[in-house]
Structure 1
């Protein structure tokens, strides 16, 4: 009789255990058509509170079994605050493991080559679940954060930055600035180590200014070194750069899409490279590694002019006469909105 009772007890225990394992390994009831379910765990919330909330929401099969599992594994206190994406077919055992590893949801914000600092700041303002710890988010505030004497135009590295809910705007800005400093210093040191032909830069910062111009003028990536070569040779020959993007940058909000002769004649614009010799005071856009590399490794040809052909590429000329012929051929409507500037015929 005792043996029969014992056998029955063992059988019942096996059935219960099998049932528990089945429930624990049963996929969560994620709504049909959804690939994931997003959950937020705030600082101070207990696993018990969360489990019963999830059960009430209908996607956790059993709060009691979930908590029992956590008690047996002794990791109920190891869950980490954050935002999680729980994929479909996840079971309760896998869910608990996920919550003890930390937030798995990532967001992205991008800074694009050739765009301005103001564009990067707008992207940060619109980034979801990013703490806006700089108010208002202005260029002046960024200058203060990065401890810069000049406006910090061009001092962020164009890239896509991955962050979690709870990260801050200032942390992304610092990360991007540090990345720019690292890339610029790396390229500058490689340039110094080559002991090649002397370039018209007194510092890595001036190389960055040139890189930003190259970035704005480039329509096709392979032309970066050739465009850089034109501008470097013009500086070496004490010629003005005469490039529209610098003038447009200096006009700021006053630029309405039409670059006029009066703008090119305006000496009060410090970014007017049609009237002022040398480089403009600061970068005019975000420059990537390729543009920085091109500024420090310009093509060693003889071209002093280039003109946009209308397909994103340029025609390069050694002489003014050749350039004038190219202008007549390719730039009948030179000041159209799609026009990318080149040194003038003056």
Structure 2
């Protein structure tokens, strides 16, 4: 009562990490100065996905009830008129700023529990209880009725969004039930993703389930090493249900991904790996993740920023031509020796890429003689004009650190096992080519 702090006193005493206008009432999206932490360290930003109701049922009831004073208790020497004024004015002030205060607290709570919020919680919680009234919000009992519900948490949502969406999905009985649990548990954090819940769960059990990784539906997209960009777009569209046209449109704006000036597309820059799907991400977001990951791996391999594009072009060629892990540095050495001696690289993989068919390993005499194919290294000297695949770590490392050797030729003599013959002289190479041709006759499915 008289010895309890007012709302304004509490918030004046806390560190001013956010401006009041940025945390109360209408959230302002990704302002950058009000992020809340998740378990994985990814910011959980405010969003404009859904506004919480201006007043909960309890708040509406509290406004209507004739209650005892909450903040101000008149002194004994005041007259009855002063007493009545003292009991009413605080309630009127409270009803005006109540939704703003509650929204502010929830944003602060989801901000990861800063020192100021943690210190204030012991003071704030009793006032919240008094402010919201004694009646309990409508809530189911137990952990659900057995009917499964797939529930998505999207990047940028805050606690009020989650509480409202739980009610909308029929998981909880009311927005207020989940919202009040969030208020009383400031340490709760959530990771984006899709979770398996049930209909008619208690608010506590629903929120507990959202923090249990066992309930998370792990959706992923796998990008194999050596995949061409066009196939990456197809894989991404299939995994995410984003229309392929949207993925292709995002990729077409290649200058928006922070690539070197000499890069003319995303080809080669989409690092092959397994990426978890986030229902809140756009096609551009996913592609940017792949580009960022490629940059990180280039740095780890020791590439210099000025050489990133050249390294990727070289590595993409190695990725398509090498088979076994031990052969990557040898293939790199063959190509480097040929470049050093001014020889044509004569890679079938480059010719195939230039024809638009990236799924085959052989080419025809006519295709190898086509000078209109800019990627044709049987005709054009040096490295191809651009990457022909998206290389992984083995290829990146090999491009930067070729093996020692004098080889000028190689041919894979067994496509099933990846066995490759490396030769220094043309005669040695011709013998290996005959071995490969014999294997191909026995395996027409590869032609």
TM-score normalized by structure 1?
A: 0.70
Pair 304,84 (structure 1): closer, same or farther in 2 beyond 3 Å: closer
In 2, distance between residues paired with 1:52 and 1:208? 48
Quick check: 1:97 aligned with 2:208?
Answer: yes
> Aligned to 2:246, what secondary structure does the other structure show?
coil
In 1, distance between residues paired with 2:245 and 2:364? 37
Judge which range, 94-103 or 217-226, deviates more. Answer: 94-103
Identify the match of residue 294 of structure 2 among 177, 180, 202. Answer: 180
- Kindly report which structure 2 residues correspond to 1:1-346, keeping only aligned pairs within 5 A, or say none: 26-30=142-146, 37-40=149-152, 47=163, 50-51=166-167, 54=170, 63=173, 71=180, 74-75=183-184, 84-86=194-196, 92=202, 93-99=204-210, 104-128=216-240, 135=246, 137-138=248-249, 141-146=252-257, 150-189=264-303, 203-252=307-356, 259-310=363-414, 311-332=417-438, 338=446
Root-mean-square deviation (Å): 4.1
Pair 257,234 (structure 1): closer, same or farther in 2 beyond 3 Å: closer
- Displacement, 1:133? 10
> Aligned to 1:308, what secondary structure does the other structure show?
strand
- Displacement, 1:260? 1.3
Pair 106,167 (structure 1): closer, same or farther in 2 beyond 3 Å: farther
- Displacement, 1:122? 0.9
Larger Rg, first or second structure (1 or 2): 2
Judge which range, 163-172 or 272-281, deviates more. Answer: 163-172
Paired residues of 1:110 and 1:120 also in contact (CA < 8 A): no
How many positions carry a matched residue from both structures? Answer: 293
Q: Deviations over 1:231-256 (max 9, x none)?
A: 11111111111010001111116999
Pair 218,28 (structure 1): closer, same or farther in 2 beyond 3 Å: same
In 1, distance between residues paired with 2:250 and 2:181? 54
Unaligned ranges ≥5, structure 1: 1-22, 193-201, 340-346
Paired residues of 2:247 and 2:284 also in contact (CA < 8 A): no
- Displacement, 1:110? 2.2
In 2, distance between residues paired with 1:73 and 1:338? 59
Unaligned ranges ≥5, structure 2: 1-139
Pair 136,157 (structure 1): closer, same or farther in 2 beyond 3 Å: closer
Pair 243,253 (structure 1): closer, same or farther in 2 beyond 3 Å: closer
Paired residues of 2:229 and 2:268 also in contact (CA < 8 A): yes
Paired residues of 1:86 and 1:95 also in contact (CA < 8 A): no
